[in-house]
A and B are shown apart, each in its own frame.
Chain A
Amino acid sequence: MAHSNHHSHDEIGHVVPESLFFKVLLTLLFLTAVTILAAQVDLGKWNIVGALVIASVKASLVIYFFMHGKYENRIIWTYILIPFILLAIMIGGVFTDDPFRSKPVPLQVTQQP
């Protein structure tokens, strides 16, 4: 680690100023208020899309600042992103099943003698 020679002997990680954390907290609270207000308006299926987009912005802020993601290397970012990619594949995979189903299926087999 030639890079660490530039730091003083005492430092092993990045020190984030507390004022930055406070600004992030205010942003998170603001976005929470936006989510609640947006849910009061009926936008049909766009309600859940909006709620998930805002939640993802909030989650990104938590990971990027609170969890020091901004200062982490590529290996840790791989670990951060993999579960979300796997979740997307899982949900996406499940829903590709739906168009190929004949629905509704009211248990016709049991009606036969």
Chain B
Amino acid sequence: MSSNAAVAEHHHVGPGEPPHIHHMDTPTAYGAAKLGMWLFLATEVLLFAVMFCSFAIMRYYHLAEFHDASHHLNLPLGALNTVILLFSSYTAAVAVTKAQKGDNKGVIRNFGISVLCGLAFLVIKSIEYTGKAHHGMFPVVWNEHFYEYKNFLGLYYCMTGLHALHVIIGMVIMVIYGILPARQNRYSGRYYTPVELSALYWHLVDLIWIYLFPLLYLVG
């Protein structure tokens, strides 16, 4: 069999059918993919762990400055973003159940809500960043008046910026691996691995914000 025929075979899987993966039955392929995703998520947690460690050290040595600086963040907007992200995490979890039941429209609807929530999150985050820039608490437009807050604000921008990047990546993943294939009725109880893995990534984005919000906005 030529390799072209093998490729063609890959593309001619019926709706809801798992792709043909050589030497692996469907449950094994599913388990292996999920294990790989969890390993990747572990490295993602470690990426943020370095920043949380820096935050712990800096906070320990500059407690008063951290306390004052955290009061300059917009708590209502931060709380609103928390609610938005928790809700989007809920709809992402529901999307997996919908996929397992073969409800592709449900996948589109629930992942669609999650993506829109991600967009709302980013809009609110940019409103916050703009407000900070207006008061001279932003890289490039630093105001000397806030010099003692630079330790806190530097970490704030690194952590929320990296988190916002993950929000964007999560939205792209949910569209490419969730919504677009679901439009072709790709998912069923026999095959929904990409939906579950996309949802896992989105939950990680939520998980990191669960720690970022109280540390940055509440206790400083």
Contact with B along A1-34 (1 / 0, CB 8 A): 1001000011111011110011011001100100
- Residue pairs across A and B with Cβ atoms less than 8 A apart, 8 shown, are A13-B100, A15-B189, A28-B86, A52-B214, A66-B89, A66-B90, A68-B96, A76-B38
- Whether, in the assembled complex, A105 has its beta carbon less than 8 Å from a beta carbon of chain B, the answer is no
- Whether, in the assembled complex, A109 has its beta carbon less than 8 Å from a beta carbon of chain B, the answer is no
Binds A, one of B48-56, B147-155, B163-171, B173-181: B48-56
How far is it, in angstroms, between the C-alpha of A66 and the C-alpha of B87 when the chains are bound? 11
Residues of chain B within 8 A (CB-CB) of A12 are 26-27, 30, 189-191
Q: Find out whether the CB atom of A13 lies under 8 angstroms from the CB atom of B30.
A: yes
Q: Find out whether the CB atom of A67 lies under 8 angstroms from the CB atom of B203.
A: yes
Residues of chain A within 8 A (CB-CB) of B100 are 13, 15
How far is it, in angstroms, between the C-alpha of A63 and the C-alpha of B45 when the chains are bound? 13
Contact with A along B188-220 (1 / 0, CB 8 A): 111110001001100100110011011100110
| 4 closest residue pairs by CB, A with B | A39-B218, A83-B45, A51-B214, A25-B90
Number of CB contacts from chain A to chain B under 8 A: 134
Q: Find out whether the CB atom of B214 lies under 8 angstroms from the CB atom of A62.
A: no
Given A39-B218, A76-B38, A83-B43, 4 further pairs, Cβ under 8 A: A13-B196, A16-B96, A59-B211, A82-B42
Residues of chain B within 8 A (CB-CB) of A22 are 90
- Whether, in the assembled complex, B34 has its beta carbon less than 8 Å from a beta carbon of chain A, the answer is yes
B100 to chain A, nearest CB (A): 5
Residues of chain B within 8 A (CB-CB) of A36 are 75, 79, 218
Which residues from 20 to 61 on chain B have a C-beta closer than 8 Å to any C-beta of chain A?
26-27, 30, 34-35, 38-39, 41-43, 45-46, 49-50, 52-53, 56-57, 60
CB < 8 Å: which of B45, B57, B83, B97 contacts A16? B97
Counting contact residues on chain B (CB < 8 A from A), the size range is 35 or more
Residues of chain B within 8 A (CB-CB) of A80 are 38, 42
Residues of chain A within 8 A (CB-CB) of B206 are 62, 66
Residues of chain B within 8 A (CB-CB) of A87 are 45-46, 49, 52-53
Identify the interface centre among B46, B57, B213, B214: most chain A CB within 10 Å of its CB.
Answer: B214
Question: Does more than half of chain A's interface fall in helix, strand or loop, or is it mixed?
Answer: helix
Q: Find out whether the CB atom of A95 lies under 8 angstroms from the CB atom of B45.
A: no
Residues of chain A within 8 A (CB-CB) of B189 are 10-12, 15
Residues of chain B within 8 A (CB-CB) of A13 are 30, 100, 192, 196
Contact with B along A90-110 (1 / 0, CB 8 A): 110011001000000000000
Chain B residue, CB-CB nearest to A33? B79
Asked, given contacts A16-B97, A18-B97, A86-B49, whether A59 binds B90 with beta carbons under 8 Å apart, the answer is no
Chain B residue, CB-CB nearest to A61? B210
Q: Find out whether the CB atom of B35 lies under 8 angstroms from the CB atom of A54.
A: no
